[in-house]
């Protein structure tokens, strides 16, 4: 067996853990010439030691240890290696396999002799379900762990169970039970003088009160936590407790106090040389500053935080910076700038959500593929054993079972794909219905309004000239609404999400706008593609940029020709609108139209340019796809 561990131990030799000397000694035991029975406990212990830093190696060690324990018929070591295996699976995010390993582990432990081990496995199960946000299941297993520790009279672990139950009940909105558990935890930890964990309990109680919006009471608990973290010399958690205190004072609008405690937190993280934590405290301090009217300090804090989070590539914190900056700008009365920054926040938030969904999908897929491979290996091993030891008849039984399993899997895939297709069809039908209703019902109503406006306008010229301008306005507004509605219908209508459809739409609207003024409208560059699809948001914004640019050229440039180009160049879409008019005069202030075009472009992290001179104006927009 020693030779089979050489690749694994090569990996382990470069892994850093908190118990390096213990790990080295365990590796030496496994590599020793001792019997398998003597080195069997080292597999589970080594897997426990490394699963946080190297879960893949933890899985290999636990699996090898389990096989040896099975041969030796050692139920305790089988259960221990399964527990280590479950922790390694949990670390990788393979929740279903972790749960399965933990449940098997509990069955193998002796209910009377191994109560402590069973309690720990129950806690592990609770953590898995808590990570999946299945708080009711988490609550069930945490209570089971609590009952085991109560039998063992282990006060310290009972207190830790109460802390976990406090968090789970808080998520379940069972605030009464949550408060009861944390008070019991505080009572026990106060009695046994565990200052660091007691401080954690006061912090958890403060968080519970803050969730219930009982901020003055939460402030009292956070102050207790700060004092105890000081006694325990736990600077990092003390800094977090000061932050909690500052945020609680912000909630009750005591902004000077809020800034005071956030400053204390900031000083601690300066001592600890943690730039990210410093940036986060300054981010949180910006709003109290702004509430007090000190916008310069607020802006300075946000600039510092944004720089650090960009350097560290912390997109989630950067999203918070954009949200706070938007709020500060809004307080100053800069509504347009606030809206631009808020859009950045929304765009980044949506990107993060999409990334999380992709990561979760990859995690599920990886877990599923791993499980399938393990099943395939098990089936192959079973077939080989049967060939060596049993009759041919049993081989056919196994083959039949394998076929049934594969057919079941294929049936599952077919059902899942049919459901996906059905959901997509439902979505398409809904979008078609919305587009149809807008076109038929709203369009018909607006057309009627425009028609009635024209009738009133004609009569008003003869009978009531003073009403003529009002009727004219009704007709114009109805016409504009019909155009806007047409744009909305085109945007949401399924089947028009490709590059050709977008170019055709720009061509039609360009001809319609240029014809009344005898302006020549042409496409100079065009990429033909029905297979390249564009998201609804990007398609809408590229169309609106084109429409606005053509409209500006028609109205103000005094041009005789407008040329449009829309091409896909590698991984970039290039949109160009050029006229041969007079250009934009230098003394003309930039209007909302150009600003809107640039904002639409920036929302997709694009690049926007305006080139203008006496020979004409060119609008350029580039989008990464």
Q: What is the pLDDT of residue 212?
A: 94
pLDDT in tens, 160-197: 999 999 999 999 999 999 999 999 999 999 999 889 99
pLDDT at res. 17: 33
Structural domains of the chain in order of their starting residue, each with its CATH number: 1-109 (1.25.40), 111-193 (1.25.40.10), 495-624 (3.30.565.10)
219-228: per-residue pLDDT in tens? 999 999 999 9
Has residue 378 got a pLDDT over 80?
A: no
Strand 572-579 versus strand 616-624 pairing type: antiparallel
* The most confident of 356-365, 373-382, 487-496, 534-543, by mean pLDDT: 534-543
Q: 133 pLDDT exceeds 50? A: yes
Task: Count CB neighbours of 566 within 10 A.
Answer: 22
Tokens matching residue 120: 């720990």
Residue 1 — pLDDT band, cuts 50, 70, 90? very low
Per DSSP, the three-state class of 566 is strand
Q: What does the pLDDT read at residue 16?
A: 35
Q: What is the pLDDT of residue 342?
A: 92
Strands 607-613 and 616-624: antiparallel
Segment 267-278, tens digit of pLDDT: 999 999 999 999
Q: How far is 528 from 525, CA to CA, in rounded Å? A: 10
Angle at alpha carbon of residue 156, lines to 150 and 160, rounded to 5°: 85
Confidence of residue 230 (pLDDT cuts 50, 70, 90): very high
CB burial of 84-121 (b: ≥16 within 10 Å; e: otherwise) equals: bbbbbbbbbbbbebbbbbbebbbebbeeeebbebbbbb
Question: 382 or 333: which carries more pLDDT confidence?
Answer: 333
Residue 7: predicted pLDDT: 31
Beta partners for 569? 572
Residue, of 393 and 62, whose pLDDT is higher = 62
Closest CA to 574 of 485, 491, 495, 499: 499
Q: Cα–Cα distance between 55 and 11 in angstroms, integer?
A: 12
**pLDDT value at 568 more than 80:** yes
What would the mean pLDDT of 394-411 be, rounded to a whole number? 74
Using DSSP, state whether 99 is helix, strand or coil.
helix
Tell me if residue 567 falls in helix, strand or coil.
Answer: strand
Taking each helix axis from N to C end, the angle separating 315-331 and 295-311, rounded to the nearest 10 degrees, works out to: 160
- Place 10 in a pLDDT band, splitting at 50, 70 and 90: very low
Q: Which range has the worst mean pLDDT, 58-62, 350-354, 496-500?
A: 496-500
- Compute the average pLDDT of residues 575-589: 87
How high does pLDDT run on average in the chain? 82
**In this predicted model, what pLDDT tens digit does every residue of 279-310 receive, in sequence order?**
999 999 999 999 999 999 999 999 999 999 99
Residue 527 pLDDT exceeds 60: yes
Element housing 578 (H / E): strand 572-579
Question: Phi-psi bin for 503: left (phi > 0), alpha (psi -120 to 50), beta?
Answer: alpha
Specify the range with the lowest mean pLDDT, choosing from 108-112, 165-169, 300-304, 530-534: 530-534
Cβ–Cβ under 8 Å, residues 81 and 43: yes
Q: Which of 52-66, 76-90, 481-495, 529-543 has the lowest mean pLDDT?
A: 481-495
pLDDT above 90 for 204? yes
Tally of CB atoms within 10 A around 435: 18
Q: pLDDT at position 286, please?
A: 95
With a pLDDT cut of 70, the percent of the chain lying above it is: 77
CA 91, 93, 95, 98 torsion-angle sign: negative
Distance between CA atoms of residues 283 and 269, nearest Å: 14
CA distance 189 to 155: 8
If one compares 468 and 92, the residue with the highest pLDDT of the two is: 92
């Amino acid at each position: 067996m020693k030779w089979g561990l050489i690749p694994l131990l090569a990996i382990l030799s470069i892994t850093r853990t908190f118990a390096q000397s213990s790990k080295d000694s365990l590796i030496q035991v496994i590599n020793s010439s001792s019997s398998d029975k003597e080195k069997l406990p080292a597999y589970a212990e080594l897997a426990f030691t490394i699963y946080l830093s190297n879960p893949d190696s933890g899985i290999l060690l636990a699996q090898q240890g389990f096989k040896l324990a099975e041969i030796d018929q050692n139920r305790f070591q089988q259960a221990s290696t399964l527990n280590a295996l479950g922790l390694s699976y949990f670390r990788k995010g393979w929740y279903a396999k972790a749960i399965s390993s933990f449940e098997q582990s509990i069955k193998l432990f002796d209910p009377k002799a191994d109560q402590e081990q069973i309690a720990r496995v129950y806690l592990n199960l609770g953590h898995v379900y808590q990570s999946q946000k299945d708080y009711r299941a988490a609550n069930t297993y945490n209570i089971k762990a609590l009952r085991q520790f109560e039998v063992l009279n282990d006060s310290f672990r009972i207190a830790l169970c109460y802390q976990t139950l406090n968090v789970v009940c808080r998520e379940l909105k069972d605030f009464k039970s949550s408060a009861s558990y944390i008070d019991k935890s505080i009572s026990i930890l106060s009695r046994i003088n565990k200052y660091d964990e007691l401080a954690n309990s006061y912090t958890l109680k403060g968080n519970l009160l803050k969730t219930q919006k009982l901020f003055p009471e939460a402030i009292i608990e956070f102050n207790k936590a700060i004092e105890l973290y000081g006694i325990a010399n736990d600077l990092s958690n003390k800094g977090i407790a000061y932050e909690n205190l500052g945020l609680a004072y912000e909630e009750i609008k005591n902004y000077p106090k809020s800034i005071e405690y956030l400053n204390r937190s900031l000083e601690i993280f300066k001592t600890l040389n943690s730039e990210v934590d410093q940036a986060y405290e300054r981010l949180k301090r910006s709003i109290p500053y702004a509430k007090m009217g000190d916008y310069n300090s607020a802006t300075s804090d946000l600039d510092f935080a944004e720089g650090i989070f960009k350097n560290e590539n912390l997109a989630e914190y950067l999203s918070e910076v954009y949200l706070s900056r938007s709020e500060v700008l809004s307080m100053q009365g800069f509504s347009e700038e606030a809206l631009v920054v808020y859009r950045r926040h929304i765009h980044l938030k949506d990107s993060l959500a999409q990334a999380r969904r992709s990561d979760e999908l990859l995690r599920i897929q990886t877990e599923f593929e791993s499980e399938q491979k393990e099943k395939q290996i098990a089936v192959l091993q079973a077939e080989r054993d049967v060939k060596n030891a049993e009759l041919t008849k049993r081989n056919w039984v196994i083959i039949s079972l394998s076929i049934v399993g594969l057919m079941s899997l294929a049936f599952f895939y077919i059902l899942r794909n049919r459901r996906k297709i059905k959901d997509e069809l439902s979505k398409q039908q809904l979008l078609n219905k919305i587009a149809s209703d807008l076109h038929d019902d709203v369009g018909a109503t607006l057309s009627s309004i425009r028609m009635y406006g024209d009738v009133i306008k004609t009569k008003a010229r003869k009978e009531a000239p003073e009403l003529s301008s009002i009727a004219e306005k009704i007709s114009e507004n109805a016409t504009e609404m019909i155009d806007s509605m047409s744009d909305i219908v085109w945007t949401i209508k399924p089947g028009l999400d490709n590059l050709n459809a977008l170019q055709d739409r720009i061509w039609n609207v360009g001809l319609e706008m240029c014809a009344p003024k005898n302006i020549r409208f042409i496409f100079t560059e065009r990429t033909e593609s029905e297979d390249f699809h564009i998201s609804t948001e990007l398609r809408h914004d590229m169309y609106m940029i084109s429409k606005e640019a053509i409209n500006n050229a028609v109205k103000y440039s005094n041009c005789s020709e407008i040329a449009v180009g829309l091409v896909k160049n590698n991984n970039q879409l290039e949109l160009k609108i050029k006229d041969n008019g007079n250009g934009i005069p230098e003394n003309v202030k930039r209007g909302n139209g150009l600003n809107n075009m640039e904002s639409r472009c920036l929302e997709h992290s694009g690049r926007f340019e305006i080139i203008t001179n006496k020979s004409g104006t060119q609008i350029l927009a580039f989008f990464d796809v």
